[in-house]
Homo-oligomer: A and B are copies of this chain.
Amino acid sequence: MPHPISRFPVPTLEALPDDLRERILAVQEKAGFVPNIFLALAHRPDEFRAFFAYHDALLLRESGLSKGEKEMIIVATSGANRCLYCVVAHGAILRIYEKSPLIADQLATNPMKADITPRQKAMLAFALKVCSDAQNVGESDYAALHAHGFTDEDIWDIGAITALFGLSNRMANLVSLRPNDEFYLLGRVPKAAR
């Protein structure tokens, strides 16, 4: 492969602890390839486990946010943080969840111009404030989301997903994590055409 996927060493599957290898094989089974974040973080198995435990706690959790809305938060804040890996990889997931080939590029570039609802725009405005100016988040920001029907637990979800992917964005930029080529096209064309 001409381009390294990380600035740091990437372990082979054989060299990994069993639990990491099993998780990686499972995702490969499902996606058809191994997303590079799994290989790059596997350089530090304890951090790998903690990151994906956090990830699952937030993304697999029942919530007032749909799975697509959670990905909207990830793509919009990763765009703000200029994180290539998360924009491309979660952009693909978002396109699939929302069955929309356009939405990821819209949200990564300028959420104000995206084909989303006013409720979703309010959600992303909150997420972007947590992303870039968390110190000034206050009751008026909570009230703006309550007005759209979000509960406090939903707001924790919005803030926590933003915070976790703020971590992820910084790690990806730190190690120059490269998105798999496959992600760029996923969800852009009907399955048959691929």
Q: A interface vs B, CB < 8 Å?
A: 3, 7-8, 43-44, 46-47, 49-51, 53-54, 56-58, 61, 79, 81-84, 87-88, 101-102, 105-106, 108-110, 112-113, 115, 130-131, 134-138, 152, 155-156, 159-160, 162-164, 166-171, 173-176, 178, 181, 184-185, 188-189, 193-194
Contact = CB atoms under 8 A, between A and B. Distances in A.
Contacts of A3: 115
Contacts of A8: 152, 156
Contacts of A166: 163, 166-167, 170
A184 B113 CA distance: 15
Contacts of A84: 105-106, 109-110, 113
B50 A50 contact: yes
B47 A50 contact: no
A50 B53 CA distance: 5
B112 A83 contact: no
A120 B135 CA distance: 18
Given A3-B115, A102-B184, A160-B174, 10 more contacts: A46-B57, A47-B58, A47-B160, A54-B54, A102-B181, A105-B184, A130-B170, A155-B174, A163-B170, A189-B193
A138 B112 contact: yes
A123 to B, nearest CB: 14
A79 B84 CA distance: 12
B185 A189 contact: yes
A112 B81 CA distance: 13
B167 A163 contact: yes
16 contacts: A7-B152, A8-B152, A43-B156, A44-B57, A50-B50, A50-B54, A82-B110, A84-B110, A108-B108, A130-B170, A155-B174, A156-B175, A159-B174, A163-B171, A163-B174, A193-B194
